[in-house]
Chain A
Amino acid sequence: MSSQSPVQAVAHGASPVPAKAGIGLRFPHHDFVLAKRPAAAWFEVHPENYLSEGAAAEILSDIRADYPLSLHATGLSLGSASGVDEDHLNAIADLCRRMNPALVSDHLSWSAVPGIHLPDLLPIPYTFEALRIFARNVDRVQNALGRSILIENPSVYLAFDEQDMSEGEFLNALVQSTGCGVLLDVNNIAVSASNTGIDARDCLAQFLSALPAYAIGEIHLAGHAERHLPDGATLCIDDHGSPVGANVLSLYETVIQHIGPRPTLIEWDTNIPAFEILAGEARKADAVLSRYSKTATRREHADAAAG
């Protein structure tokens, strides 16, 4: 386990996101959170839902006053060969100025070609050309925001041939060249591994060996759906519509054991349940985090004592 601090890139004055389980805040829970101010270590939202100066942004501003906040973008299309949409980037930068989030992130994917933006996280080939383009786009975003961002590994349903490196190596190269951090989505590792015919534990091991622990600044957990196909294959769909599966929780424990406690988000985006269900999922993650927080603290003291 590394003794270096994980990438947080906390803006001046922002409440840091603690190494505890937070909750992905969606519109159906706005009223509940505003009225009850439930216990939650932190919230994460998609900034694309709050870009206007209207009612939604006012609600977020109100909630943000009481909870640490992370902005998890879906629309920057960092892997686009055509570059980053400057209008969209400016809107995100403006929201960051207004909300002062502790963390900002987007995905290791692309969504746009000139004139068309598809609302999905599409796969990129892990080639040197894609790496140059992705790094250029991350630099552009980080310069505009004046801070480091985290890049999340996405779920994929196909993989490209003729690649120059693995996903973990690609992310590590990005970290080294841009100073960005990594948002490790453990559910996405399970989904992608299954869909591309790789063992999930082997896939996770590749990530953990390729990435320095300090680079991983946040973790995502979610549920996924499994569909058995007529040809005998199993299709995993990253639908964020169910509790975190036992296999994903087990992978998560391996991650925390390896890198130490990290801010961990519970994502639930379809068939959204009552807030208390999400809080229950967060408690599961907190139970894992608490098992390793004492170990991490002892190790940090030992490292400090050893000079």
Chain B
Amino acid sequence: MLPLADLQRDFVRAVLDADTGRLAALPLRESTIAPAVALGVYRNTVFGALANALRVTFPTVDKLVGEEFFDHLSAAFVEAHPPSRGALSLFGDGFADFIQTYAPVAELHYLADVARLDHLIDRTLAKPDVSVTRLYALDANVSLEIPKSLCAIRLEYPADQIRDALEAGDDDALGRIDLSPNPHWLVLWRAGRSVMLRAINDRAGIFLSVLLAGSGAEAAFALAAADAAPEAAMSAIQTDIFASNFVRVVEFKSEREFS
């Protein structure tokens, strides 16, 4: 018998590469089921489970390209980036970047952004509810209380409009969407079993993303205010963040989580 590590390495390659010869070369007992048939069952299970996992995480991509092409797309992704972890719900990191470089969908310039938004919504739903918050110091006296699930994303294309139209089943609205580049920022946070989306201006988006990345309020404001008068930048941040309903400006407390 082969050492177990060698047997398992060959088995995995046989499944991923549809290599019946490699499987048949393992010390198999003669059986009623031919190795090619057995390999087909294992491949169907693996690729089917991964396609379904991606379909759950990327529902808008699935609706846009259709079930048959989605299966093809997911199989190509799996072959290039097989999963490395035991939780299917975590599979799909890198799918959007893969779409960006996948030649058969090169003309669908917006598809990678649609995947990015789907992915972020899925991951936001896996975070604690809105009541779990974290404080970010703005200065010595004031902090920003932000839901732990809150995140910001800059999209090049109107992926949010596409998602809304498909969720509503509104083909007319889908047809009216201008698919040319239109960079914009969104914030997302979890509320119960839903994910809330809100458009924010560019300076607010930069400020929030830098703050959430842990660089501090001063650095966040400096980047957000680049090429602008400080008063104008502060006004933009004030309007879309400080005055929003997804954060609270509070008297200073040490930075930590609350629930």
Chain A residues near B (Cβ < 8 Å):
48-49, 51-56, 58-59, 74-77, 79-82, 85, 87-88, 91, 110-113, 115-120, 122, 124-125, 127, 129-130, 133, 157-163, 194-197, 229, 231, 233-235, 237
Question: What is the CA–CA distance of A234 and B37 in the complex, to the nearest angstrom?
Answer: 11
Instruction: Please indicate the chain A residues that have their CB under 8 angstroms from the CB of B3 in the complex.
Output: 81, 129
Q: Is the CB of A52 within 8 A of B86?
A: no
Q: Give 29 pairs: A residue, B residue, CB < 8 Å, sorted on A.
A: A48-B87, A52-B126, A52-B127, A53-B126, A53-B127, A54-B126, A55-B126, A75-B87, A80-B8, A81-B4, A88-B86, A88-B87, A117-B82, A118-B12, A118-B15, A119-B45, A119-B50, A120-B46, A125-B27, A157-B42, A158-B28, A158-B31, A160-B1, A194-B32, A195-B38, A196-B31, A197-B31, A231-B34, A237-B41
Question: What is the CA–CA distance of A118 and B88 in the complex, to the nearest angstrom?
Answer: 10
Checking A59, A91, A120, A125 against B42 with a beta-carbon cut-off of 8 angstroms, the contacting residue is A120
Q: Is the CB of B127 within 8 A of A196?
A: no
Q: Is the CB of A125 within 8 A of B31?
A: no
Q: Mark B1-35, 1 if CB is under 8 A from A, else 0.
A: 10111011101100110000000001111011111
Checking A79, A116, A124, A129 against B84 with a beta-carbon cut-off of 8 angstroms, the contacting residue is A116
Question: What is the CA–CA distance of A41 and B45 in the complex, to the nearest angstrom?
Answer: 30
Question: What is the CA–CA distance of A269 and B228 in the complex, to the nearest angstrom?
Answer: 57
Known: A53-B127, A56-B126, A160-B26. A48 touches B1 (CB 8 A): no
Q: Is the CB of A133 within 8 A of B4?
A: yes
Q: Is the CB of B82 within 8 A of A116?
A: yes
Count of B interface residues, CB-CB < 8 Å: 46
A127 CB to closest chain B CB (Å) equals 5
Q: Is the CB of B7 within 8 A of A125?
A: yes
Given contacts A120-B45, A125-B4, A159-B31, 17 further A-B contacts (CB under 8 A): A75-B86, A77-B86, A82-B8, A87-B85, A117-B84, A120-B15, A122-B8, A129-B4, A130-B4, A157-B33, A157-B42, A158-B35, A159-B28, A161-B27, A161-B29, A196-B32, A233-B34
A112 CB to closest chain B CB (Å) equals 7
Interface residue? B83 (CB, 8 A): yes
Interface residue? B71 (CB, 8 A): no
A133 CB to closest chain B CB (Å) equals 6
Q: Mark B91-133, 1 if CB is under 8 A from A, else 0.
A: 0000000000000000000000000000000000111110000
Residue among B1, B27, B49, B88 with most chain A CB within 10 A: B1
